[in-house]
Structure 1
Amino acid sequence: MTATAKSPPQHAFKPALALSAITLAAAALLGGCAVGPDYARPQMDLPTAYKEQGPWKIAEPGQIDSNHRWWEAYKDPVLNDLIDQANKANQNIRFAEAQYRQAQATAAIARASLWPTVGVSGGPTRARTNSATAGSRLTDTYAVGLNASWEADVWGRVRRSVEAGDATSAASAASLAAARLSIQATLAQDYLQLRVTDLQKDLYARTVAAYTRSFQLTQHQYEAGVALRSDVAQAETQLRSAQAQLIDLDATRNQLEHAIAILVGKAPAVFTLAPVTTDGAALQASMPPTPTGLPSDLLERRPDIANAERLAAAANANIGVARAAYFPTLTLNATGGYSAIAFSQLFDTPSRVWSLGATLAATLFDGGARSARNDQATAAFDASVATYKQTVLGGLQEVEDNLSTLRVLDQESQVQDQAVKAAQLSERLALSQYQAGTTTYLSVVTTQATSLTNQRTAVTLLGRQLVASVALIKAVGGGWRVGDINQTTATGTPVAAAN
């Protein structure tokens, strides 16, 4: 339905205005409905508590949330600085941040469809016409005007598209948080393993010094005729073996250092971490107790679960988009401007032209394409629900795994500490007996090897505890909350924490 007039009288506008008012009113009345199912979070039967309960529950640990940077619980300023560098320079985080901005732009594009499109046009036209009375004529026409069109969202197709875009943007924000948390946890684990390697190197350095003294002792006793040549050979073998193991630890440390360099966005050639010789007890004291909360808390605390849930919401909205294709579209158009055969007359009152119209269009036959798209959208939603539920189950498993690991390692480390004390006592007694000539050097070698093995096992257990504690913090979300979606900057600093 289109009306066009040139130099219209006032009464000529009334039918068109009435038509437009009726059309807009109808669109407003129908605009309240949106086809497709309304979204509800997929339901899951979650346990009321975790199977594993650890002694750290009794410690009443401090809160770990968006207002507290969880890695600071390890009380290591070098670690704090490294994670700050990674938040700003890690390329995987930058990639996820760019994807988030891309998702935001896609959502903005969908939202723009709620508004009319307005354009301007103008220019001269030359045309030749033929008629029986006037013959062939060459005429020039000059025109300038504005045009606008708007698709009334009668069936909610655009609103469902906006809903899907917003949900996808929120999913991308959660994905960015998950990527950042993964980088932070990986960096913390690599750093703590490097420090444990430093402890092992320190242990072997002290062991090499002790074995050197034992080697010198056997040489002196051999020269004095109170020891066998085989005692000297055994002492030297033990010494060289410890020296070789000390050198081998450099390979492990170098690889960890290189991995940390990449995580903070630097080339390994320009990155170095100075070694430390802190004893194991000091590091163990800095291992933080971790609040785990309830299984249901994971739905709000883990960004990967939030990502899966928002993708399910987007898939649900896409069902509405697909079903809206079954219904006709209503498009409103309006143009207004000037048109004249002479440029000097272009803006005169008689040259004014206008047009108002409404178009109702529907597809009658498409060979089943709309039905296939609806089936496709429904299947995509079912797949996203399955992914969401599997992500929740995976999160529960990660928490249980690390709770169990920490419980077992805590018990094991207590027993191992006793084994270390017993082995050290046995080593001292054997060495004293050898110096007194009441035992062979083989007994000394055996007890020293046992003592070293037990001490290295104790340090290794400490490293496994630290790594598992980081994994547990990551498994419970690292202090992140669903309320933090769309509230983080590119550097990972929460704009407003919602707890």
Structure 2
Amino acid sequence: MMLKQALLPIMVAAALSACAVGPDYQRPQLEMPQAAANVAPVASDWWRSFEDPVLDAMIDESLRYNRDLVQAAARVEEAAAAAGVARAGLLPQVSASAGSGRSQTSAYSSGGGALLDSRQAGLTASWELDLWGKLRREREAALADVSASERSLAALRLSLGSQVAKSYFQLASYDAQLASARATLQSREESLQLRQKRFNGGMTSELELRQAEAEAASARATVPQLAQAVTQTEHALAVLLGRSPRDIAANLGRGKALSALAEPEQIPSGLPSDLLLRRADVAAAEASLIAANARIGVARAAYFPSISLSAGIGSASTALTDLFSGPAQTWNFAANLTAPIFNAGRIAAGVDAANARQKQALAVYEKTVQQAFADTLDAMSAVSTTRATEQAQLQQLASLREALRLARLRYDNGYSSYLDVLDAERGVFQVEQALSSARLARLSAVVSLYAALGGGWQAG
């Protein structure tokens, strides 16, 4: 009978600890658009589809050394350590202690100035009973934080790869525009020299000479602007790669021209049915929502009593030789119960705050889902429109180059004015610049589509 009475509190505590206060997480129900089920997942090394070894090396370098990734990886380690702390709270805590001391009493006391030695050693254990699931909710939230930080790291890796690819393509675009501007400048300076000779020989008017000077000056002003854009893009790309301050100013290597890059074989044309499982940012937002939901239970558990158990065993003696003998043994056991009675609404305010944070996390999750579908639709549209734009400008450039050839031929034979040649040259240069930008827009749209579809990340 005495044994049953002794075990009764433990049995009650075990039964109560089987439940946890606070809401259990359920994924929010969202209205989803129609999605195609036959869209293949994006490969984890999606950038290799462009078949440019220099681009491959740059993205690999950024994934190893970029400082934002280093910081995000450290956040994962921090969250994992916090989860370990939360797990430790569920288990008993044991500590050891030992001590030695000597004291002397007053000569006028009953001890008569005696010297007293004391020795003690012992083990102490303490355990907070998780009756209402507070500690388990804390661990649930901590594990969700780990998941959120891991998925945020994956999302950052995808974003970094996309930024490196787009910056690399931007650099190649500026290189092409700069090469076109330099070629145009050389052509216009040669034309200016020819106009100067003809003017000196009385074979052309001053108007043609001044027009040639103006066009040469215009090209001369464009070259340094594009050269500066190339330099700034190199520096921005070097930062993305995680290079040291000493290496940022070093020129980056060059790979294929934009026109020589491979066209990805299969570009998805529809929404995947499992888009939410493909995107790390959506999974990170949901993990944060799970953590916020669990912390509501942590806040609510403060309404209920908490019970902690502590016990100790050891020995104490005035002589070291007797410290571990049977008569020197000591022990103690205690159970403490604390329950809130009046706290001026502090617990209620804590619950309200936890509920508010859960609502914020829910709104972030819903917006992330919305943005995921918007990004995908925008990227699919951009891929088709930028390809059409590039094709149209290719045809326009071919026509303008032919028109320039004919204009020069007509001018050399006296059938048209030099103004026709200048207009044709100006048109060719402008479309060459626009074509480079169109190629950049198409490749950037492909990168954006890879990123919108999750970029190779799959929920585990």
How many residues matched?
Answer: 454
Q: Are 2:10 and 1:32 aligned?
A: no
Report how far residue 276 of structure 1 moved. 6.5
Deviations 1:263-287 (A, max 9, x none): 1122255421245684x5323x445
Of residues 131, 144, 157, the one that matches 1:180 is 157
1:324, 1:477 → 2: CA distance?
38
2:217, 2:33 → 1: CA distance?
55
Report how far residue 183 of structure 1 moved. 2.0
Q: Are 2:94 and 1:104 aligned?
A: no
Report how far residue 446 of structure 1 moved. 1.0
2:95, 2:314 → 1: CA distance?
12
Q: Aligned residue for 2:252?
A: 273
- For 2:27, give the aligned amino acid: R
Of residues 477, 491, 495, the one that matches 2:454 is 477
- For 2:20, give the aligned amino acid: A
Of residues 43, 61, 65, the one that matches 1:85 is 61
1:42, 1:476 → 2: CA distance?
21
2:55, 2:252 → 1: CA distance?
11
Deviations 1:374-425 (A, max 9, x none): 1111111111101110111122222222222222222222222222122112
1:403, 1:327 → 2: CA distance?
54
Q: Is the 8 A contact 2:239 2:248 kept in 1?
A: no
TM-score (norm 1): 0.83
Distance 1:297 1:321, change over 3 A: same
Q: Aligned residue for 1:196?
A: 173
1:438, 1:365 → 2: CA distance?
101
Deviations 1:176-214 (A, max 9, x none): 122222222111111110001111122223323433443
Stretch deviating more after TM superposition (455-464 or 230-239): 230-239
- For 1:70, give the aligned amino acid: W
Report how far residue 323 of structure 1 moved. 1.3
1:277, 1:349 → 2: CA distance?
84
- For 2:428, give the aligned amino acid: S
Of residues 363, 374, 384, the one that matches 2:361 is 384
Gaps of 5+ in 1: 1-13, 51-56, 484-499
Distance 1:480 1:20, change over 3 A: farther
Of residues 285, 293, 301, the one that matches 1:324 is 301
Distance 1:270 1:250, change over 3 A: closer
Report how far residue 37 of structure 1 moved. 0.8
Q: Aligned residue for 1:164?
A: 141
Q: Are 2:257 and 1:282 aligned?
A: no
Q: Aligned residue for 1:148?
A: 125
Q: Are 2:187 and 1:210 aligned?
A: yes
Q: Secondary structure at the match of 1:151?
A: strand
1:204, 1:288 → 2: CA distance?
33
Q: Secondary structure at the match of 1:482?
A: coil
2:127, 2:7 → 1: CA distance?
14
Q: Is the 8 A contact 2:39 2:272 kept in 1?
A: no
- For 1:92, give the aligned amino acid: D
Report how far residue 437 of structure 1 moved. 0.8
Report how far residue 360 of structure 1 moved. 2.9
2:255, 2:7 → 1: CA distance?
79
- Residue identity over aligned pairs, in percent, reads 37
Q: Secondary structure at the match of 2:303?
A: coil
Q: Secondary structure at the match of 1:36?
A: coil
Q: Is the 8 A contact 1:143 1:346 kept in 2?
A: yes
Q: Are 2:21 and 1:69 aligned?
A: no
2:329, 2:269 → 1: CA distance?
73
- For 1:427, give the aligned amino acid: L
Q: Is the 8 A contact 2:39 2:270 kept in 1?
A: no
Q: Are 2:108 and 1:113 aligned?
A: no
Write out aligned runs for 1:410-489 (5 A): 410-483=387-460
1:275, 1:474 → 2: CA distance?
24
1:186, 1:366 → 2: CA distance?
52
Report how far residue 91 of structure 1 moved. 1.1
TM-score (norm 2): 0.90
- For 1:282, give the aligned amino acid: A
Q: Aligned residue for 2:283?
A: 306
Q: Aligned residue for 2:30?
A: 44
2:266, 2:191 → 1: CA distance?
42
Report how far residue 260 of structure 1 moved. 0.9
Report how far residue 232 of structure 1 moved. 3.0
1:398, 1:150 → 2: CA distance?
50
1:447, 1:156 → 2: CA distance?
79
- For 1:155, give the aligned amino acid: W
Report how far residue 38 of structure 1 moved. 0.5
Distance 1:213 1:127, change over 3 A: closer
2:458, 2:366 → 1: CA distance?
19
Stretch deviating more after TM superposition (139-148 or 310-319): 139-148
Distance 1:301 1:212, change over 3 A: same
Stretch deviating more after TM superposition (138-147 or 76-85): 138-147
Q: Is the 8 A contact 2:87 2:139 kept in 1?
A: yes
- For 1:101, give the aligned amino acid: E
- For 1:35, give the aligned amino acid: V
